[in-house]
Chains A and B, each alone.
Chain A
Amino acid sequence: MFIIKLIREKTLQVFSVLIIVYLMLPLAVIILLSFNKPKGRQNTSWNEFSLDAWTNICRDQTICRAFSTSIQIGLLVTIISTIIGTMISFALIRHRYRGRGTTSLLVFLPLATPEVILGASLLALFLNIFIPLGFWTILLAQITFTISFVVVVVNARLAGMDPKLEQAAMDLYATPLQTFRYITFPIALPGILAAALLSFSLSFDDFIVTTFNSGRIVTFPIYIWGAALRGIPPQVNVIASLMFLGSLLLILVASLISKNRRATKV
């Protein structure tokens, strides 16, 4: 009876907690198993507490090499697709020209294409024009679809920006370059940063398109896929935990900064 009463009064709270638990449980399991000393090859059931994996992350060199490859590719993909995507977005939103509709359609096509198809056709392309598969083909392949995401995100930000702001800046003696530097860019920046973060995470965990075009290069997702067949070492859990903590830290810092800024503003 008591429980029923509690649920009736606190339905919202109870459901909220349940949903948070549901979302967080897999993460908790990953972190927990990073402290495990697995019995056999598979790190799936609790055996005994150990710091082995944490103190010796790179014991299997391939893990760390794959991780560092993925980071490198992720950073390069982010930089290139953010720059090109932002430029495309400015062209689409700010200018009227012949072929604008077609450009728009072509840019969004990769979003609608299944990744398997995208990966396979890119592979066919690379083979046909004799580009050896490897680091650079992964980069090219990932950029083709991350650009589209960048365009979508930056478009949303630019479309909401009043063109009168730029006119006002020019009216106040700002040259076109200064108008971009002091008005357009700072206002578009949050959208551009969001687009950059999105393309990094898309690049970092992309598996399908990457596998088709990776040649002998092993990225982090490809390593895990391979390891899953013979048993994932707890080091993978350690890296996953570190990444989770890292992004948690970033979010914390970001919210502290914005809170701080709001406090000084009023």
Chain B
Amino acid sequence: MASNRPKVEDLHLVNLTKSFDDFKAVDNLSLTIPAGSFFALLGPSGCGKTTTLRMVAGLDEPTSGQIKLGPDDITNLPPYKRWVNTVFQSYALFPHLTIYENVAFGLRRQKAENIDDQVKAMLELVELTTQAQKKPQQLSGGQQQRVALARALINEPDVLLLDEPLGALDLKLRRQMQLELKRIQTEVGITFVHVTHDQEEAMTMADTIAVMNEGKIEQLGSPVQIYEHPKTVFVANFLGQTNLFEGTVAGIEGDELVVKVKDTTFYVPLATTDIRSGRIILGVRPEKVKIVDQGKTGLPKNQINGSIKLTAFVGVSTQYEVITNWGQEISAFEQNVDPTDLGRPGQAVTLAWEPRHSFVLNPDDDLSAGLDTSWDE
């Protein structure tokens, strides 16, 4: 199929807006998704990620803005005229057709040649050759998921859209399918746009993640970038656990910004932020925080004293909740190298981390943004 069409193109969303009555599901969104990338739209339910996907598929009409595939404006093309295919969350397999016919459906509509060869090759790729003559309801959830993938992939679209494709699978199968999807994407080289609310899934699979909230993109970057250097409180909280400190800038020392939080001083590399004065929100991931007995020396520069409130041994790590003298709870995860040396509740400790492990967030953000939304649905 691809042979008679030009090469896979970049997908451009330009000032895309979708309003339902007075509610803006997608709000003036602009985005370029490079050809051949595995791109994740990550966000809580209702953040507009599925609406964005449906507009790209042609199933929802944008209120304003443009969708372009390479140089072509596809904003107003009906879904059957776009080189875009979708893997639906509920799979939407045709119940009255066999697995074989489900997979062949797209090729038959395009009057393709060698349909039989292509379908057989595709069924082999997703390891369903023996199930070809069954009906969808006779297959397990994981198998149905693979049929949905094969049915879309066989058309070799410019862009493959995946709407929470693993949402209905159990955890073990989901892990397995994540790696499988990643393998297939690398193999076929088609642009994958993956919508999910599962931050771990997005980080496992995607090259680039766009974190969405209330119809807008909060932050765009590689999984490492957005995890290590979140720009907003929402992103920091939505992707894993975070310790946040609210403080004021006290000055500059060398190439570090000095930040006062209550009676403690923290340092942040100047390069991480443009803020030079006033209110500031600092963050640090729990796994970057070292926990040691008070009075030790040779520690990283950022330090707080406190006492252990809770110790939880979770196997790969030990997770501590520590209370500072101003009453804030801070999490610290210690790798489980020497499990006999667990801290006990009440014990006085010092928490310490390197300045370069801190990140600075938008000072206008609400500190609870993104906290209660990460695991809904």
Contact = CB atoms under 8 A, between A and B. Distances in A.
A171 B80 contact: yes
A206 B126 CA distance: 56
Interface residues on B, range: 20 to 34
A38 B79 CA distance: 71
Among the interface residues A164, A171, A186, A266, which one has the most CB atoms of the partner chain B within 10 A? A171
Interface string A138-153: 0000000000000000
Given A164-B88, A265-B134, A265-B135, A171 B109 contact: no
Contacts of A173: 80, 106, 109-110, 155
A163 to B, nearest CB: 9
Interface string A162-190: 10110111111111001000110011000
Nearest to B88: A164
Interface residues of A, number: 20
Given A265-B133, A266-B134, A170 B80 contact: yes
Main secondary structure of the interface of B (DSSP, over half): loop
B96 A174 contact: no
Nearest to A173: B109
Given A186-B96, A187-B95, A266-B134, A168 B86 contact: yes
B86 A171 contact: yes
Main secondary structure of the interface of A (DSSP, over half): helix
Nearest to A165: B92
Interface string B54-98: 000111000000000000000000111000111010101111100
A235 B322 CA distance: 96
B162 to A, nearest CB: 12
A162 B90 contact: yes
Given A178-B109, A265-B134, A168 B80 contact: no
Contacts of A164: 88, 90, 92
Considering the complex of A and B, which 5 residue pairs feature the smallest CB-CB distances, nearest first?
A172-B106, A168-B92, A164-B92, A173-B109, A170-B79
Interface of B: 57-59, 78-80, 84-86, 88, 90, 92-96, 105-106, 109-110, 133-135, 138, 151-152, 155
Interface of A: 162, 164-165, 167-175, 178, 182-183, 186-187, 264-266
